[in-house]
Structure 1
């Protein structure tokens, strides 16, 4: 079951059915969705995705998916899940444009990486980022992710794969 996580300014908690309109609005914003998955989707597809969070992801406890809230408002989305592309767990995060540039992305990414290491017991956490998404690449490198490889997608675009290793405690 997806746990509730906190950062200094954010609450990451499981979605509720009442979040559907805010979720769809976030994913329908092309400034956000251009960097997510295969890019912008139809409103119907985003509503179906929201439904699958409950009927599949939460119902089968497949992986952790969070609504990211600040002061009670939905400002983003976060996940950590196993993916074949990286051969391990990948973090995914998206924030509404109104939350950009304030360090909230760093808070979200750091918190879900810590969850991966501390709660899930992972030794490596990955991220995949479209090569033109320089802000996300810079954020990840700032918090300790290293480039691993590049993937050329079917449409010719480049996706960067990054990884962060769990710090080995000295004892």
Structure 2
């Protein structure tokens, strides 16, 4: 289901993050420069991890990331799925697995997420996974989960 990203996934990454329907909950579709910068960061930075989410037939569904923050043991998590794979429980499964991985292999103590205030699917997801809201700023909600 989760596969560490290699250069083979670049085309899918660019297509997904420039898709207006997918990006409506994250922000605007990324420009070529933003795509190049993010892709380079994930491939070269050992503290920013990106995984491909794929199905049993190895079809690409989306990406999930863990980005180390400045605070010890704190990580930002993000999940992006093709529109056809959203709201089917896949994000719950992927985020649960990645939180366990982060705790066991990266010494993660806190996972932070953010999403647009009006995105009810994300709200339901973080509540289901046991996150707590810690701030609202402009159009964003910020939630965190302490891993024990």
TM range (shorter): 0.7 to 0.9
- What's the RMSD between the two structures over aligned residues? 2.1
- Structure 1 moving runs of 4+ over 6 Å: none
Query: Is 1:80 matched up with 2:80?
Result: no
| Deviation for aligned residue 1:114 | 1.3
5+ residue gaps, structure 1, are: 1-10, 153-157
How far did residue 110 of structure 1 move?
0.9
- Establish whether residue 91 from structure 1 lines up as the match of residue 91 from structure 2: no
Question: Aligned pair 1:62/2:47, yes or no?
Answer: yes
Within-5 A mapping of 1:3-152: 11-36=1-26, 38-54=27-43, 56-57=44-45, 61-70=46-55, 71-83=57-69, 88-152=74-138
For structure 2, the 5+ residue unaligned runs are none
Aligned residues: 146
Deviation of residue 50 (structure 1)? Answer: 2.3
Task: Decide which moves more: 87-96 or 138-147.
Answer: 87-96
Structure 1 residue 84, shift from structure 2 partner: 5.5
Bigger Rg over Cα:
1
TM-score, length-scaled by structure 2: 0.86
- Alignment partners' CA distance in 2, 1:163 and 1:105: 16
